[in-house]
Structure 1
Amino acid sequence: MKGYNKLRKKSWDLLNSGLPQELYYHSIRHTKSALKNCEAYISYFNINSYDSKLLRIGILLHDIGFTVSIDNHEVEGAKIAAKLMRQYDFSKNDIEVVTGLIMATRMPQRPTNLMQRIICDVDLDYLGRKDFYEISDLLYRELLERSELFDRLQWNRIQIEFLEKHSYHTEFAKKRRQGPKERRIAELKYMVSSSRRKIV
């Protein structure tokens, strides 16, 4: 795929220089983790080399819109992706695939094909992992910086609501992550219940 390596290098440069430091969750670490996790999906679904590269580009660029704006970052990210891909001579179809991947991560997630289902599950993989609390604390800090949260109890209630509404989109993710995610819900509900008793 012509231009693939140059696009990746340019994208990493933009992320490293452009992501605000107060984005503790939507950081380089998150992007690297998502790229690493996607390899298991590529293998499981036996995705061909060409589509695998498009999927990796979509994951690499799915949060690049944060370099421009926190609001509607998926829209901004799709614009940046299209501009970069045109710069490196990607086809119109390739651009449509990648921008579709980026927009699929917008909440509420509504993926329409396998690659979009994969990027959605990769993006929220941590919901069903052992490091859930470590990662969610980064998001909590990020929201505190933006004055969108006030206390831990409120945050735990928000997390319960989000986790209960969320669904993984691939059978692969459901097998690996749904069980642990349900345990996180039970744990968070216990924390909220305990907090209420302390207040009373």
Structure 2
Amino acid sequence: MDCLRAETYVLDQLRQHLTPTLFYHGLHHTLDVVEQAHSLALAEGVSDDTELALLRTAAHYHDAGFLTTYQGHEAAGCALARQVLPGFGYEPAHVELICQLIMATRMPQSPGPLRLAQILCDADLDYLGRPDFWRISATLYEELTVRNLLAGEEAWLRLQVDFLSSHHYWTPTATTRREAGKQTHLAEVWEQLARL
């Protein structure tokens, strides 16, 4: 399997064809998820080269469905993976695993016991517990607002409270790295709501 060509292909597609109003789900998010997935995998003791390669490919393709649709983008990303990855030498079982990982990131996340899926889910929402949470969440607010999916700031803050309250990290590493920061951000969102 030629991972480099598969990754180059999808990154080129994202660069050229993603709508510019994907302020959160843009190329930068995909690259961040790739980086975080690799970091988490190593910290979680994933050492098998094939597993690492399939996780990396799934991270590159996890939001590629935004090329064609907003709602249901995970399934669209799987369709793209099934269409192009065999041409890069991926075996059918590898493609299906990649699709399983991509579908696990659908909200609400459902990785089940599959370690690679848990890692990808945690990488996808790593920012929730990071210092750049507010900057990144502002891009999601902007993305949802231009699509008329939010009814103002109060609705956004309530959505944030619900999301942060119900979310949990799946891997011990992500929990250790990010849970405390996420709880701090939740408290800050509550403070903002109280001021409205």
Measured against the shorter chain, the TM-score band is over 0.9
CA distance in 1: counterparts of 2:123 and 2:130, whole angstroms: 12
Alignment of structure 1 residues 1-200 onto 2, 5 Å: 2-47=1-46, 48-112=48-112, 113-195=114-196
Superposition CA RMSD, Å: 0.9
* Post-superposition CA distance 1:119-174 (Å, at most 9, x none): 00000000001111100000000001101113212211110011001111111111
CA distance in 2: counterparts of 1:53 and 1:39, whole angstroms: 9
Amino acid at match of 1:161: D
TM, length-normalised to structure 2: 0.96
CA distance in 2: counterparts of 1:42 and 1:180, whole angstroms: 20
CA distance in 1: counterparts of 2:41 and 2:105, whole angstroms: 18
Q: Where does structure 2 lack aligned partners over 5 or more consecutive residues? A: none
Offset at residue 66 of structure 1 (A): 0.4
What is the identity percentage for the equivalent residue pairs of Structure 1 and Structure 2?
33
Q: What secondary structure does 2:23 align onto?
A: coil
Q: Which 4+ residue blocks in structure 1 deviate beyond 3 angstroms?
A: none
Q: What secondary structure does 2:86 align onto?
A: helix
Offset at residue 49 of structure 1 (A): 1.3
CA distance in 2: counterparts of 1:63 and 1:103, whole angstroms: 10
Q: What secondary structure does 2:157 align onto?
A: helix
Offset at residue 89 of structure 1 (A): 2.3
Q: Where does structure 1 lack aligned partners over 5 or more consecutive residues? A: 196-200
Offset at residue 42 of structure 1 (A): 2.1
TM, length-normalised to structure 1: 0.94
CA distance in 1: counterparts of 2:142 and 2:148, whole angstroms: 10
* Post-superposition CA distance 1:30-74 (Å, at most 9, x none): 011111112221211222111101000000000000001111000
Q: How many residues align?
A: 194
